[in-house]
Amino acid sequence: MDKRGGKDRQKIELKLIESKEARTVAFSKRKYGLDKKPKEYSNLTGADIDFILFTQAKKSHSYGSPSIEKIIDRFHELKQNNSQQNHTDMSKTNVFEAFEDLRKEVQAFKKKDLGSELPTDKHMLENRLKQFEAYKSQLDKIKNEIKGDVPAEQFNFISEVALKLEKMSS
């Protein structure tokens, strides 16, 4: 194999081109090459692509498939939906934490109740009834908050606990 000197394509060192005219020419040539790749990728994959290029002369060149405005609007929509989803997830977490705290309180109350003798004092009975009613109202509030946001088995479990509290208070 005979290599001819100087006829191979030489690799260009990537650094800032000193001459302003040469820089403008290089930008112009490379801009179309850069513009071509997103178009090809969009055609091949069906992806929506947004491509914005700003020059040193403060001019912008852009390519958007279907259009830059639509892509940017879609981006903002998705970003807003993600933040709303995160907020919903946080509220679900807070509701489940509140439910878990309430469940622990009810269990502690049951243990305390089982360990002691039945109260004979009317005042003590009324206080316990008020506590059960408070637990029940808290549970109902939690149940209403999460009605459409939880799987059926979790909602059924919460409903069962509410029924048990209702039976205990009556």
Residue 96 and residue 60 share a domain? no
Which pTM does this prediction carry? 0.34
pLDDT digits (tens, 9 = 90+) for 89-107: 555 566 667 767 777 777 7
For 14: left if phi > 0, alpha if psi spans -120 to 50, otherwise beta; the answer is beta
Residue 165 and residue 105 share a domain? yes
Percent of the residues in the chain that have a pLDDT greater than 70, as a whole number: 61
Residue 54 and residue 104 share a domain? no
Structural domains of the chain, count = 2
Q: Does some domain include residue 128?
A: yes
Q: Does some domain include residue 101?
A: yes
pLDDT digits (tens, 9 = 90+) for 38-87: 888 888 998 888 878 787 778 877 777 667 777 778 888 887 777 666 65
Q: How far apart are CA 20 and CA 11, in angstroms?
A: 21
> Range of 53's domain?
20-66
Q: Does some domain include residue 115?
A: yes
pLDDT digits (tens, 9 = 90+) for 129-139: 777 777 777 77
Q: Over 70: is that where the pLDDT of 110 sits?
A: no
Q: Are 74 and 48 in contact (CB under 8 A)?
A: yes
Residue 94 and residue 46 share a domain? no
Here the CATH number for the domain that contains residue 34 is 3.40.1810.10
Residue 156 and residue 106 share a domain? yes
For the segment 132-152, the average pLDDT, to the nearest whole number, is 68
CA–CA distances in Å: residue 41 to residues 66, 67, 73: 13, 15, 21
Residue 98 and residue 59 share a domain? no
Written in H, E and C, the secondary structure of 95-147 is HHHHHHHHHHHHHHHHHHHHHCCCCCCHHHHHHHHHHHHHHHHHHHHHHHHHC
The mean of the pLDDT values for the chain is: 72
Q: What is the pLDDT of residue 1?
A: 46
Residue 94 and residue 164 share a domain? yes
Residue 94 and residue 62 share a domain? no
